[in-house]
Each structure stands twice: as C-alpha cells, then as structure tokens.
Amino acid sequence: MTASPLQSFLPDFGSPGAETGEFAVSPIPAVNVASVPQRSPLRYPGGKTWLVPHIRAWLGRPAAAPAVLVEPFAGGAIVSLTAMMENLAKRSVMAELDRDVAAFWHAALREGAALGGLVERFEVSRENVIALSGENPRNVVEHGFRTLVLNRTRRGGILAPGASLARAGEAGKGVASRWYPRTIMDRLDAIAAVADRITFCETDGLKLLESLLSAGCEDVAVFVDPPYTAGGKRAGKRLYAHNEIDHPRLFRVLAESGVDFLMTYDRAPEVEAWVREYGFSAVQVVMKNTHHARVPELVISRRPVFSHVD
C-alpha cells in the first residue's frame, strides 16, 4: 500500500510495531465519562462515551465532516447522537439487530413525546419493573419504554438473557438507582430535535454496511463497534443477545471499500493480525473496567488519524 502525500508528513503514530505486535498509545486518553455530555438515554454495556474525544478528533478534522455517518452496531448510539448534536456529520444511518433495542430507537426517534410521557408517569419499584418485564407491549412506544426501563434497572444495563435486576445500586437505592426521569426526558427531547437527520434500520449491520458501501462511499464515514467476540472472547456473548459476527468479513468489507472508518475492538491476536493484514492503523486506549482493571482497547482506522492532536 502506498502512503498518501499527507501521510508521509505524519509520524506513524498509530501503526502497529511490526515485530512485537505492540500498538502506540493514543495521544488522546480515554475520557472520564462524567466529563462529556451523556447523550443516550440507554445505559449501554460497552457504550462508547469514553471515546467521544477520539470521535471529535476523527470527524472534526478540517474538511472531514462527512455527509453521512454510518453506525452499523448502534447499541446506545452514543457516536451517532454525538455526531448529530455536535454537527460532526450531516446525517446518520444506524442499525441494530436486537428487536428490544431497536424498538427503543424506533420509539425515541419517531414517538419521543409519547415515550417521554411514559417515563414521566412511571413509578419505579422492584414490583413495577418485574410486572413490566412480563408484559407484552401493545405498540412500539410501550416496547421501547420496556427496553428503557429494563436497561436502566438491570445490573450493568445488560439486556441479554440471564441479566438480573440491580440490587444495592447507588446509595442503596436498588432498581431506582439509575432511573432519573427528568434527565432521561431531557435526552429524549434532544434526540427528537435531531431525529429527522437520523435513519434507523432494524437489521443486520454488516449486511447494511455491505449494501451501502457497494453503492459508493464518497462522503461517508463508518463507526464500527461490534460485540467483542473475535478470538473466542466472551465479553460480547454475556452482554448482548446478538453477538455472532463474521469478524473477518467485517474487516474485509472495510478494507475493500476504501471508506473512512473508525472501529473499536478489544485486543485479541486475531484482531491484531487482521489490522496488519490490511495495513490498517491502530492505537491503544487504556480503559478501566468496572473492576478497576486496566484493559487496553484498540481504536482502528484506515490511516493514522490521531497523530495531529496535541
């Protein structure tokens, strides 16, 4: 692969070390999530609030703001919401396969006021949450609301089968410890204000990506945050009901399209090998997980993007 004229001026900040498989540490640290605006009403396991400064640096490069940002594994959709609210892209197309999470996005984007009304009226208690989880929603607003309540009252925001309700929670408040109706309603209002720029698709994100990119990728940027299951890693299996991803195909689609992308993964030998195989660039961002262990994540792109950031 030949280097672009611009690339030849840049230090090769994000490239993997050929011999050791080591990756440079990003010049931008993982941010404390309390220091950036929280845009998503969902409390998403694997959520990318900590990556927001990288997203701003990536999409905010001079002349980089794309016409369309594609987020094929939306989850809590922090990146699409941030990009729309901070005008880092003109439009966003996001996909999610989980039908409960998808119902939330359908409701938030099309019926935000009705969803906010349910939030305002809900009396949070262990009994009411258990009753709601056993109900069959009659429409998309009720379905999206059920997802939202379960997401904010289950331990770690986990919706996958087997997740349990929060017990002690913040200040011993149990299921109510993450249920802040006013804050959730404010976030829903902010989403409603940009909803006409967001297209949500309840579909397989990889298939969507393939079909969008086959139509050309001029003025498109893609943010990819798949369940971390490459190399037999288990985190993605525990956290999400949908977690089977054809990781090699995902790398191939990105490589062959030539599209501008940013992708996150945990470090697995397979992932590092694909980064090298396609000549991608990667930097490490060291995260603290909920057990305060330091876990490095990889932020992968076609070319180095963070080397110009102070």
Ligand X SMILES: C[S@@+](CC[C@H](N)C(=O)[O-])C[C@H]1O[C@@H](n2cnc3c(N)ncnc32)[C@H](O)[C@@H]1O
**What would the x/- binding string for ligand X be over residues 194 to 233, using CB under 6 A?**
----------xxx------------------xxx------
Q: Residues 103, 107, 109, 115: is their CA dihedral positive or negative?
A: negative
The answer for residues whose C-beta is within 8 angstroms of residue 69's C-beta and 6 or more apart is: 59, 79, 80, 83, 88, 89, 91, 92, 93, 220, 221, 222, 223
| Nearest-approach distance from CB 203 to ligand X, in angstroms | 7
- 75: number of Cβ within 10 Å: 26
Binding to ligand X by residue 73, rule CB under 6 A?
A: yes
Pick the binder of ligand X from 240, 251, 265, 306 (CB under 6 A): 240
CB of 54 to ligand X, least distance (A): 12
Nearer to ligand X, 12 or 202 (CB): 202
Of 41, 46, 112, 304, the one binding ligand X by CB under 6 A: 46
Amino acid in the structure at residue 66: P
Choose between 24 and 88: whose C-beta lies nearer to ligand X. 88
Contact flag: residue 304 with ligand X (CB under 6 A): no
Task: Work out how close the CB of 48 gets to ligand X at its nearest, in angstroms, rounded to a whole number.
Answer: 4
CA distance 74 to 67: 18
- Cβ neighbours, 10 Å, residue 5: 7
Closer of 225 and 272 to ligand X (Cβ) = 225
Closest CA to 88 of 114, 118, 57: 57
The stretch near ligand X (CB under 6 A) out of 70-78, 136-144, 150-158, 288-296 is: 70-78
Burial class (CB in 10 A: 0-12, 13-18, 19+), 204: middle
d(CA 49, CA 51) in angstroms, rounded, equals 5
Q: Which of 197, 233, 238, 242 binds ligand X (CB under 6 A)?
A: 242
Dihedrals phi, psi of 223, to nearest 5 degrees: -110, 120
**Does 150 participate in binding ligand X (rule CB under 6 A)?**
no
Chain contacts with ligand X (rule: CB under 6 A):
44, 46-48, 72-73, 75-76, 78, 95-98, 101, 204-206, 225-227, 240, 242-243, 245
